[in-house]
Amino acid sequence: MPNNQVKQAVALSYKNSNAPVVIAKGEDLIAKEMIAIAEQAGVHIHSDEYLCDFLQKLEVGDEIPQELYLLVAELIAFVYVLDGRFPEKWDNMHQKIMEQV
């Protein structure tokens, strides 16, 4: 990101119902503080300038638009895998994969 470009951050929350919701957003110092707090808390951070620009247009408390459902669902699923969380109906497939690796 060029030095003259504004740093942005958007935080989403998903509670297994409805759509993910914007729970915080900020620019410059606020964005840097949001990222630092997320890193300290072990929150996974996804950097995508275009997605962030789009999400910055939403207000805190807004659900993401339907056009972003698939993209954000893929990000959430990836974070679940990184955290070692898998749906029960996978019949411990992750354990089988780990045994083969």
pLDDT tens series, the chain, 101 aa: 445 566 999 999 988 778 999 999 999 999 999 999 999 999 999 999 999 999 999 999 999 999 999 999 899 888 888 888 876 666 666 566 667 66
Length of the chain: 101
Question: Taking CA 45 as the corner, what is the angle to CA 32 and CA 18, rounded to the nearest 5 degrees?
Answer: 110
Locate tokens 């994969």: which residue?
Answer: 97
Locate tokens 């789009």: which residue?
Answer: 54
> What are the residue boundaries of the structural domains of the chain, listed by start?
8-100
What's the rounded Cα separation, in Å, for the pair 91 and 58?
38
Question: What's the confidence (pLDDT) of residue 15?
Answer: 84
With beta carbons less than 8 A apart as the criterion, state whether 22 and 12 touch.
yes
User: Which CATH code is given to the segment(s) 8-100?
Assistant: 3.40.1690.10
Beta bridge partners of 66: none
pTM equals 0.74
Question: What's the confidence (pLDDT) of residue 99?
Answer: 74
Question: What's the confidence (pLDDT) of residue 70?
Answer: 92
What's the rounded Cα separation, in Å, for the pair 35 and 8?
9
DSSP state of 17: S
